[in-house]
Amino acid sequence: MLKTDVDDFLELAERDFITTPQMVLILIMIEIVVQGIALLVNPTVWWTWQLLGFIAATNLGAVILAVFAQRAADRIGEIYRRVFTPDFYGTVQMVSDFRTVVLAEAEKEGNTLDEEISEMGSEIYAVVKAYLETRKMHEETPTPELTVPYISKEESSYLHDDELFLNDA
Protein backbone atom coordinates (compact mmCIF):
# COMPACT_ATOMS: atom_id res chain seq x y z
CA MET A 1 0.00 0.00 0.00
CA LEU A 2 1.29 3.45 -0.89
CA LYS A 3 1.61 5.90 1.96
CA THR A 4 1.84 9.64 1.35
CA ASP A 5 2.21 12.20 4.07
CA VAL A 6 0.14 15.23 3.10
CA ASP A 7 1.82 17.33 5.79
CA ASP A 8 5.19 16.85 4.05
CA PHE A 9 3.72 18.03 0.74
CA LEU A 10 2.09 21.03 2.40
CA GLU A 11 5.35 21.97 4.10
CA LEU A 12 7.18 21.73 0.79
CA ALA A 13 4.56 23.73 -1.10
CA GLU A 14 4.19 26.44 1.56
CA ARG A 15 7.86 26.80 2.49
CA ASP A 16 8.85 30.35 3.36
CA PHE A 17 12.34 31.64 3.62
CA ILE A 18 13.31 34.50 5.88
CA THR A 19 10.84 37.36 5.65
CA THR A 20 11.50 41.09 5.82
CA PRO A 21 10.09 41.44 9.38
CA GLN A 22 12.28 38.53 10.49
CA MET A 23 15.34 40.21 8.95
CA VAL A 24 14.57 43.48 10.71
CA LEU A 25 14.12 41.65 14.02
CA ILE A 26 17.48 39.88 13.62
CA LEU A 27 19.22 43.17 12.81
CA ILE A 28 17.68 44.87 15.85
CA MET A 29 18.80 41.99 18.08
CA ILE A 30 22.35 42.24 16.71
CA GLU A 31 22.31 46.02 17.28
CA ILE A 32 21.20 45.52 20.89
CA VAL A 33 24.01 43.00 21.54
CA VAL A 34 26.69 45.20 19.92
CA GLN A 35 25.50 48.36 21.70
CA GLY A 36 25.28 46.46 24.98
CA ILE A 37 28.93 45.45 24.67
CA ALA A 38 29.89 49.02 23.71
CA LEU A 39 28.14 50.38 26.81
CA LEU A 40 29.94 47.93 29.10
CA VAL A 41 33.44 48.71 27.79
CA ASN A 42 35.32 51.91 28.57
CA PRO A 43 36.14 53.57 25.19
CA THR A 44 39.85 53.74 24.36
CA VAL A 45 41.82 54.18 21.19
CA TRP A 46 42.50 50.43 21.13
CA TRP A 47 38.76 49.63 21.43
CA THR A 48 37.99 52.15 18.69
CA TRP A 49 40.46 50.48 16.32
CA GLN A 50 39.05 47.05 17.23
CA LEU A 51 35.53 48.28 16.49
CA LEU A 52 36.62 49.78 13.14
CA GLY A 53 38.36 46.51 12.24
CA PHE A 54 35.25 44.57 13.21
CA ILE A 55 33.03 46.86 11.12
CA ALA A 56 35.35 46.60 8.10
CA ALA A 57 35.61 42.80 8.42
CA THR A 58 31.85 42.29 8.72
CA ASN A 59 31.12 44.63 5.82
CA LEU A 60 33.72 42.97 3.60
CA GLY A 61 32.49 39.53 4.67
CA ALA A 62 28.91 40.51 3.87
CA VAL A 63 29.90 41.68 0.39
CA ILE A 64 31.91 38.51 -0.33
CA LEU A 65 29.08 36.29 0.95
CA ALA A 66 26.57 38.26 -1.13
CA VAL A 67 28.68 37.64 -4.25
CA PHE A 68 28.83 33.89 -3.49
CA ALA A 69 25.10 33.82 -2.79
CA GLN A 70 24.35 35.60 -6.06
CA ARG A 71 26.57 33.19 -8.00
CA ALA A 72 24.75 30.24 -6.41
CA ALA A 73 21.39 31.87 -7.19
CA ASP A 74 22.45 32.36 -10.83
CA ARG A 75 23.39 28.66 -11.11
CA ILE A 76 20.11 27.62 -9.53
CA GLY A 77 18.27 29.94 -11.93
CA GLU A 78 19.99 28.38 -14.95
CA ILE A 79 19.10 24.88 -13.78
CA TYR A 80 15.56 25.99 -12.98
CA ARG A 81 15.07 27.38 -16.49
CA ARG A 82 16.37 24.15 -18.06
CA VAL A 83 14.28 21.82 -15.91
CA PHE A 84 11.04 23.68 -15.27
CA THR A 85 9.93 24.17 -18.86
CA PRO A 86 6.36 24.64 -20.10
CA ASP A 87 6.36 20.90 -20.94
CA PHE A 88 7.29 20.09 -17.33
CA TYR A 89 4.45 22.21 -15.97
CA GLY A 90 2.06 20.70 -18.52
CA THR A 91 3.06 17.22 -17.39
CA VAL A 92 2.62 18.16 -13.74
CA GLN A 93 -0.84 19.55 -14.57
CA MET A 94 -1.73 16.33 -16.43
CA VAL A 95 -0.62 14.16 -13.50
CA SER A 96 -2.51 16.42 -11.11
CA ASP A 97 -5.66 16.14 -13.25
CA PHE A 98 -5.23 12.34 -13.34
CA ARG A 99 -4.92 12.31 -9.55
CA THR A 100 -8.12 14.34 -9.25
CA VAL A 101 -9.99 11.88 -11.49
CA VAL A 102 -8.66 8.86 -9.59
CA LEU A 103 -9.59 10.49 -6.28
CA ALA A 104 -13.14 11.22 -7.49
CA GLU A 105 -13.58 7.66 -8.78
CA ALA A 106 -12.17 6.22 -5.55
CA GLU A 107 -14.65 8.25 -3.50
CA LYS A 108 -17.52 6.98 -5.70
CA GLU A 109 -16.44 3.42 -4.87
CA GLY A 110 -15.93 4.23 -1.18
CA ASN A 111 -12.13 3.82 -1.32
CA THR A 112 -9.31 6.09 -0.29
CA LEU A 113 -6.81 7.34 -2.85
CA ASP A 114 -4.12 5.01 -1.47
CA GLU A 115 -6.44 1.99 -1.71
CA GLU A 116 -7.42 2.88 -5.27
CA ILE A 117 -3.82 3.33 -6.40
CA SER A 118 -2.79 0.06 -4.74
CA GLU A 119 -5.61 -1.71 -6.54
CA MET A 120 -4.84 -0.05 -9.87
CA GLY A 121 -1.11 -0.55 -9.51
CA SER A 122 -1.20 -4.32 -9.89
CA GLU A 123 -3.62 -4.07 -12.82
CA ILE A 124 -1.57 -1.42 -14.61
CA TYR A 125 1.58 -3.47 -14.01
CA ALA A 126 -0.06 -6.57 -15.52
CA VAL A 127 -1.21 -4.65 -18.61
CA VAL A 128 2.16 -3.00 -19.19
CA LYS A 129 4.04 -6.26 -18.65
CA ALA A 130 1.78 -8.15 -21.08
CA TYR A 131 2.19 -5.40 -23.66
CA LEU A 132 5.98 -5.43 -23.36
CA GLU A 133 6.14 -9.23 -23.58
CA THR A 134 3.89 -9.23 -26.65
CA ARG A 135 5.91 -6.47 -28.27
CA LYS A 136 9.14 -8.37 -27.61
CA MET A 137 7.69 -11.54 -29.18
CA HIS A 138 6.48 -9.51 -32.16
CA GLU A 139 9.90 -7.94 -32.66
CA GLU A 140 11.66 -11.31 -32.36
CA THR A 141 9.32 -13.12 -34.79
CA PRO A 142 10.58 -12.90 -38.36
CA THR A 143 8.12 -11.66 -40.94
CA PRO A 144 7.71 -14.08 -43.84
CA GLU A 145 8.37 -12.69 -47.26
CA LEU A 146 5.36 -13.12 -49.51
CA THR A 147 5.15 -12.28 -53.15
CA VAL A 148 1.67 -11.18 -54.02
CA PRO A 149 1.04 -10.35 -57.63
CA TYR A 150 -0.49 -6.99 -58.22
CA ILE A 151 -3.92 -6.93 -59.79
CA SER A 152 -5.00 -3.67 -61.40
CA LYS A 153 -8.53 -2.29 -61.12
CA GLU A 154 -9.20 -3.20 -64.75
CA GLU A 155 -8.19 -6.82 -64.15
CA SER A 156 -10.17 -7.08 -60.93
CA SER A 157 -13.40 -6.04 -62.64
CA TYR A 158 -13.32 -9.36 -64.53
CA LEU A 159 -12.79 -11.47 -61.43
CA HIS A 160 -15.57 -13.17 -59.59
CA ASP A 161 -15.55 -14.55 -56.06
CA ASP A 162 -15.41 -18.12 -57.32
CA GLU A 163 -12.21 -17.31 -59.20
CA LEU A 164 -10.59 -15.90 -56.07
CA PHE A 165 -11.11 -19.06 -54.02
CA LEU A 166 -10.02 -22.13 -55.93
CA ASN A 167 -11.40 -25.40 -54.75
CA ASP A 168 -9.33 -28.45 -55.47
CA ALA A 169 -12.23 -30.73 -54.73
Total residues belonging to the chain: 169
Contact in structure between 116 and 102 (CB atoms under 8 Å): yes
**Chain CA centroid to CA 60, Å:** 38
Q: What digits encode the pLDDT tens for the residues 83-96?
A: 888 898 999 999 99
Contact in structure between 142 and 124 (CB atoms under 8 Å): no
Percent of the chain with pLDDT over 90: 27
Percent of the chain with pLDDT over 70: 75
| pLDDT confidence of residue 160 | 65
* Residue 5, CA distances (Å) to 91, 105, 162 in order: 22, 21, 71
| pLDDT confidence of residue 122 | 86
Contact in structure between 139 and 145 (CB atoms under 8 Å): no
Q: Among 49, 58, 63, 72, which Cα is nearest to 27's?
A: 58
**Chain CA centroid to CA 123, Å:** 25
Contact in structure between 113 and 106 (CB atoms under 8 Å): yes
Residues 6+ apart with CB under 8 A from 47: 41
Q: Where are the domains of the chain?
A: 8-67, 85-138
Q: Among 96, 118, 122, which Cα is nearest to 106's?
A: 118
Q: What digits encode the pLDDT tens for the residues 141-168?
A: 877 676 666 666 666 666 666 666 666 5
Q: What digits encode the pLDDT tens for the residues 22-60?
A: 888 998 998 899 888 888 888 889 988 988 898 899 999
Burial class (CB in 10 A: 0-12, 13-18, 19+), 19: exposed
